[in-house]
Amino acid sequence: MGAADDLLARVNEHGAIPRHVAIIMDGNGRWARERMLPRPIGHRHGMKSVREVVEASIAAGVGVLSLFAFSQENWQRPAGEVSALMSLLEEYIQKEARELDEQGVRVVFLGDLDRLPPVQRGAVDRVMALTAHNTKLVLNLFISYGARAELVRAARLIAEDVAAGRLTPAQVDEDAVSNRLFTAGCPDPDLLIRTSGEMRISNFLLWQLAYTELVISPVLWPDFGRAELYEAILDYQSRERRFGRVSA
Ligand code: FPP
């Protein structure tokens, strides 16, 4: 048995598996720089980590895996890096769509998808349609996503419903907001992992993370794999979640 299998056995003994794990995948650039390689090579190695973490999540019985792949702010990176990331996105879908489907993964893309170039938009729509019936794991891939923009969009949708008489101001409650986020119907993350040692939320899931446990891993994303995911889950399992209340 390898180290990751040992860790999975410990995770299974230790406590409940988080239903929803979210990850801010950070450190691809630093991983490349440490090796004197161009940044896109770091992203390419990061794609391997995505594959490994998806498989590890299925093996552990995680229900939803949310990955922050490309932020709204990332559009402002140098054009060469943006186009390398867009090519990788398409390549990921081409290479993995069939296997993800066979593994029972439902792939969902969330964010301002209208900003994607037509080729990527087509690939995204195809893999979502192909895998829509799957139930083993929901893989939420956040692309062109920013949490503040998501909340502004929800506010606008509520305003439209109120203006049209479909909703009264008194009916605007937490569910009214949650139901208008991209993540509508999805449980909030139990665990958020950020790699590369950075201690920031970076405009990811600001509403949904209200009571989420945070684990900061020092490991750069291209080096993050099964063992690191299970270590983060073990850390999560040792926390006492009180949701603002006192202990029993
Ligand atoms: C952060 O590292 C990572 C990204 C902006 C891109 C994440 C993309 C991938 C993991 C590969 C593609 C994945 C899919 C699902 C297609 P950074 O560049 O900010 O690293 P740095 O902080 O060290 O510079």
Indicate the top mutation candidate among 24, 28, 52 to test ligand 1's pocket, ranked by most ligand atoms within 8 A of CB: 28
What ranges do the domains of the chain cover?
A: 16-146+188-237
Hey, whose CA ends up nearest to atom 5 of ligand 1?
A: 70
Q: Do 223 and 31 meet the contact criterion of CB atoms below 8 Å apart?
A: yes
Choose the catalytic residue: 5, 74, 175, 190. 74
pLDDT at 1: 67
pLDDT at 22: 99
The amino acid present at 9, given as its one-letter code, is A
pLDDT at 243: 86
Choose the catalytic residue: 6, 26, 114, 140. 26
User: How far is ligand 1, taken at its centre, from the CA of residue 130, in Å?
Assistant: 25
Nearest to 188 by CA among 210, 203, 166: 210
pLDDT at 244: 86
Hey, whose CA ends up nearest to atom 15 of ligand 1?
A: 69
Q: Are strands 213-216 and 191-194 parallel, antiparallel or unpaired?
A: parallel
pLDDT at 44: 97
Hey, whose CA ends up nearest to atom 13 of ligand 1?
A: 47
C-alpha 175/C-alpha 207 separation (Å) is 12
Question: For ligand 1, which residues put their CB under 6 angstroms from it?
Answer: 25-30, 43, 46-47, 50, 69, 74, 88-89, 92, 141, 221
Specify whether 28 is catalytic.
Answer: no
How many CA within 13 A on the CB side of residue 167?
Answer: 17
User: How far is ligand 1, taken at its centre, from the CA of residue 29, in Å?
Assistant: 7
Nearest to 240 by CA among 216, 217, 211: 211
HEC string for 114-126: HHCCHHHHHHHHH
Tens-level pLDDT at each residue, the chain (248 residues)? 689 999 999 999 999 999 999 999 999 999 999 999 999 999 999 999 999 999 999 999 999 999 999 999 999 999 999 999 999 999 999 999 999 999 999 999 999 999 999 999 999 999 999 999 999 999 999 999 999 999 999 999 999 999 999 999 999 999 999 999 999 999 999 999 999 999 999 999 999 999 999 999 999 999 999 999 999 999 999 998 788 888 76
User: How far is ligand 1, taken at its centre, from the CA of residue 24, in Å?
Assistant: 9
DSSP at 54: H
CATH code for the part of the protein at 16-146+188-237: 3.40.1180.10
